[in-house]
Structure 1
Amino acid sequence: MKAFAELTEREILAVAIAGEEEDSRIYLAFAEDLAERYPDSAKVFTEMAEQEKGHRHLLLKLYEQRFGPNLPPIRRQDVKGFIRRRPIWLTRNLALDTIRKEAETMEFEAERFYAKAAEQTTDTGVRRLLSDLAEIEKGHEQLAAKLSETILTAGVRGEEDKTRRRMFVLQYVQPGLAGLMDGSVSTLAPLFAAAFATHQNWQTFLVGLAASIGAGISMGFAEALSDDGSMTGRGSPWLRGGICGLMTTVGGLGHTLPYLVPDSWANAFWIATAIAGFVVFIELWAIAYIRARYMDTPFLQAVFQIVLGGVIVLAVGILIGGA
């Protein structure tokens, strides 16, 4: 995977051409999905798809003039910094609000890409076209406003969410949630395996502390290296990595700290284990709520994925430790 700064002008144009073609198809898929339920919104997406086709034609014409007919096989997923989006356009009967949010993200990313690409190119003609396309993408916000009006009329929502708020979620909530999920779930097995193998609180605490800090370091680096933020506007990779690593450590320490109960207490092990089990229950339900609240995941689905998964990992740790 290449960093955006490493792309040549030829590769920048190729990524732009592929991106416009993909976005056009996505908008047409949205239009087809909404045609019967929200015909006005479907027309908006059809119009947006036609505009993306026009952008692709301009980019392809310029590319052929500069570099010939052969496009290098590079797409957005081959470049660091683009938002990793779920292919929700493959799902039918999506909520209009969900589709609108996806369109806003796509528009924001396209605008940022063209602005950054224009800064990086040296050819005057290429720079002019990319700058013009950046301005055109800004104009798509007016089309998004039409979608918001449709949503208000349909009574689906009372207030429009802004794209910048969604970027805030991508910058802070998403890496923090990923870390919290990993820290809360991945440390369950080693912690409770150590607990039931030793029945010693202090040794269990040391295992949990090591697992939490180790997982935090690993997740922090993984998040920082996954996306340099140059295209997505997700901010500094090291800031996101720090947030992810910190929340991973916090997630693991939550059910590790109860094992600081002194071994000298009567029934110290069972007291610490009972507290840790209660903390795990709170952690898993909190994660499920955050996923449902910020990540557009149905609550019951989030509960099934997180709570059930956490219980299975917890049971594995107890079984191994008690073997």
Structure 2
Amino acid sequence: MLSRVFGFGRRSFQSLSEQEILALAISSEEDDARIYRAYADGLAEQFPASAKVFEEMAQEEDGHRAALIELHRERFGERIPLIRREHVRDYYDRKPDWLVRPLGIDKVRGQAEQMEAQAYRFYVEAAKRTSDASTRKLLGDLAAAEKSHETLAQRLGLKHVPQDVQSSEAATERRQFILTMVQPGLAGLMDGSVSTLAPIFAAAFATQDTWQTFLVGLSASVGAGISMGFTEAAHDDGKLSGRGSPIIRGLASGIMTTIGGLGHALPYLIADFWTATTIAVAVVFVELWAIVFIQNRYMETPWLRASLQVVLGGALVLAAGVLIGNA
């Protein structure tokens, strides 16, 4: 678990040799081509024209891979080191197509736009780490190719909403805000609100001492906030994923985790047990529905799915805490 969170056993991007950077680029292009073909297969029945676009994008990735392999052959020979995304710390992830099914135009467009942006940032950073002129030129050309792709909205024959530069910049700014602030903050709020329910309410019903319950809630909230903050800041430096400053993300995650836990711990500053518990339960209700609203508003999660994930899950954790406290 710790190795996954902190990247133990994985190489840093800065430590890769030029041969390993080429090998990583080759495997990444191969994976991207497979993903685009999976998108094409998923869209073929209902959106055949759009499926053809993704098939063409897969062929473009094949061309990139072929150029990289030829350069590797010229510089380092036939044997390509086995190095993939999961072997490199802070490297961007790719979501398997089965995790985004059922496929739809908007969903795959968003995924593919993110893929192109991440590939562009990778080639820019990789070019900075190479001294060979031919390698730098190829990586720079591939970065330019990713950057100069027509927007997927246009390529898919859809209306491109941001018509002018100002609107496009606003859309980019909003996307960056979601990646840097909303996603880690929402993850923290969910963790703080849900994970602290069981210990706080178990302590409350086990002791019926509001001050002791508050201390349990305070320690659980602060501890969870520190853990979530460090985890968010440590597992991704944001350079390749484009998620922004790790410090800002860590603070957003840590602070919102602490707030999520303190929300239903603070009522236990009230001396009367049942009054404090009633208010705490009401606060939990508001917290969980606020999370559902944020998921729907910023992450575009359907109301029903968000409600089942958050409200039902939170209710089960709350019930577990009460049952354990009364045991």
Counterpart for residue 169 of structure 1: 178
* 1:232 matches 2:241: yes
In 2, distance between residues paired with 1:61 and 1:89? 32
AA in 1 matched with 2:252 = I
Distance 1:247 1:311 in 2: 20
Q: Please give the residue correspondences for 1:33-112 in structure 2 after superposition, counting only pairs within 5 Å.
A: 33-89=42-98, 92-112=101-121
Number of aligned residue pairs: 312
Cα distance in 2, alignment partners of residues 99 and 245 from structure 1: 31
Inter-partner Cα distance in structure 1 for 2:171 and 2:115: 13
Greater shift, 270-279 or 142-151, is seen at 142-151
| Structure 2 residues without counterparts, runs of 5 or longer | 1-9, 162-166
State the identity %.
58
How far apart are 1:37 and its partner, in Å?
2.1
Query: Does 1:130 pair with 2:134?
Result: no
Match of 1:22 in 2: 31
* Shift in Å, 1:92: 4.8
User: TM-score, normalising length from structure 2?
Assistant: 0.89
**1:64, CA displacement in angstroms?**
1.4
> Which letter does structure 2 place at the counterpart of 1:305?
Q
Match of 1:311 in 2: 315
Q: What does residue 287 of structure 1 align with?
A: 291
Once residues 249 and 91 of structure 1 are traced to their aligned partners in structure 2, the CA distance between those partners, rounded to angstroms, is: 31
Question: What is the root-mean-square deviation in Å for CA atoms of aligned residues?
Answer: 2.0
Per-residue deviation, 1:16: 0.6
Structure 1 partner of 2:3: none
User: TM-score w.r.t. structure 1 length?
Assistant: 0.91
| Amino acid corresponding to residue 318 of structure 1 in structure 2 | V
Instruction: Kindly state the Cα deviation for residue 162 of structure 1 after the two structures are TM-superposed.
Output: 4.1
Are the equivalent residues in 2 in contact too, given 1:190–1:207 (CA < 8 A)?
A: yes
- Contact 1:191 / 1:208 at 8 angstroms: preserved in 2? yes
Answer whether contact 1:97 1:151 (CA < 8 A) is retained.
Answer: no
Deviation of the 1:168 alpha carbon: 2.7
CA distance in structure 2 between the partners assigned to 1:104 and 1:292 by the alignment: 21
Q: Distance in 2 between matches of 1:34 and 1:295?
A: 23
Deviation string 1:154-208 (CA, Å, 9 cap, x unpaired) is xxxxx99945533332211111111111100111111111111111211111110
Aligned residue number for residue 2 of structure 1:
11
CA distance in 2, matches of 1:243, 1:101: 24
Q: Is the 8 A contact 2:179 2:244 kept in 1?
A: no
How far apart, in 1, do the equivalents of 2:94 and 2:312 lie?
25
- The 2-side partners of 1:295 and 1:314 are apart by 25
C-alpha spacing 1:87/1:151, structure 2 compared with 1 (3 Å): farther
Q: Which of 149, 152, 155 is the equivalent residue of 1:144?
A: 152
> Cα–Cα, structure 1 residues 109 and 123, in superposed 2: closer, same or farther, change >3 Å?
same
Moved more, 276-285 or 74-83: 74-83
Task: Tell me, in whole angstroms, the C-alpha distance in 2 between the residues paired with 1:19 and 1:63.
Answer: 15
> What per-residue deviation string (whole Å, max 9, x for no partner) do you get for residues 222-254 of structure 1?
111111112012122122111111110000011
Cross-structure match for 2:4: none
The one-letter code matched in structure 1 to 2:251 is G
Q: Counterpart of 1:302? A: 306
1:177–1:148 CA distance, 2 compared to 1 (3 A): farther
CA distance in 2, matches of 1:224, 1:244: 9
**One-letter code of the match for 2:105?**
L
Query: Do residues 249 (structure 1) and 253 (structure 2) align?
Result: no
Counterpart residue type for residue 47 of structure 2: Y
Partners of 1:297 and 1:72 in 2: CA distance: 40
Question: Comparing 246-255 with 311-320, which one deviates more in the overlay?
Answer: 311-320
The CA deviation at 1:90 is 5.8
Residue 278 of structure 1: which of 282, 292, 317 is its match?
Answer: 282
Q: What CA distance in whole angstroms lies between the structure 2 residues aligned with 1:67 and 1:237?
A: 35
Aligned with residue 205 of structure 2, among 196, 199, 211: 196
State which drifts further: 164-173 or 10-19: 164-173
Higher mean displacement: 211-220 or 229-238: 229-238
- Change beyond 3 A, Cα 1:289–1:84: farther
Change (3 A) 1:93 1:321: closer
Q: Deviations over 1:50-104 (max 9, x none)?
A: 1111000000110111122222221122222233343235655412101100011
CA distance, structure 2, for counterparts of residue 77 and residue 65 of structure 1? 27
Q: Deviations over 1:240-294 (max 9, x none)?
A: 1111111100000111111111x2xxxx111110110011011111112222333
